[in-house]
Amino acid sequence: MINDNDTELSNIHTFNIDDASREIYLHPYIDSLEEPSEATIDFRCAVNLEKNIRYLDSKSIEPILIHMHLPGGNWEDALGMYDCIKLCKSRVIILAYGKVESSSSIILQSAGLRILMPNTYVLIHYGSFGLTESDHPGTAISHAHWNEKELDKTLNIFTDKCMESQLVKEKKWKRLITKKHIAGQLRSKSDWILSAEEAVYYGFADGVLGTKKFPNIDYLKTFIKKQ
């Protein structure tokens, strides 16, 4: 006989959702036939998140907690997840594990509350696009122009968050100076890697789990309800 606990556990592992606690597990699509190195953000994990968000959002507007363990991956799929979370009626918390790299660092910025595990790091860089030998020369120009727009979109997303940071309060920077600083970091370092504490200082996260402000996972929904 299958009991309620078995069903809940099955939903967590099969559909990446805990309906009762309104928690979602966001990670790359798992396929036993794929090599672990191929795990990345793609349309499969994006669609799974979008379904789960819509499902929980249609039931109530209580906070949703997303447990995120994602590498980088497809930019368009990451933006799809970013928009889905950003436009959700319910307040969304993202708790990030392990690493927040490349396009997953954009997804993190969509949440109303962004929390990092103590040993999680954040890696920010400009994305890239590729062409094949068969592509028309005009295609390269079109993609290059589009890439420039997307790079500026990346800068604006991080600049918006940085404007609320301790760094900007201390420096008393205006938005243009802040944006130039972030752009300079990305140009000079290529892969800009920040510890959990550094990410909070720059405004790219709101806190670190296990600290006085955010002592444990269960407190996160209580905290966001107070805001």
Residue-range definition of the domain harbouring residue 53: 4-125+191-226
Beta strands, E only, the chain: 17-18, 23-26, 64-70, 92-101, 113-116, 121-124, 192-194, 207-208
Query: Structurally, how many domains does the chain consist of?
Result: 2
Checking if the pLDDT of 131 tops 50, the result is no
Q: Are residues 215 and 116 in the same domain?
A: yes
Q: Are residues 34 and 104 in the same domain?
A: yes
Q: Are residues 119 and 220 in the same domain?
A: yes
- pLDDT at res. 75: 93
Q: Are residues 141 and 111 in the same domain?
A: no
Q: Are residues 95 and 146 in the same domain?
A: no
Q: What DSSP designation does 94 have?
A: E
Checking if the pLDDT of 135 tops 70, the result is no
Q: Are residues 184 and 201 in the same domain?
A: no
- pLDDT at res. 8: 75
Q: Are residues 86 and 26 in the same domain?
A: yes
Q: Are residues 31 and 121 in the same domain?
A: yes
pTM of the model: 0.89
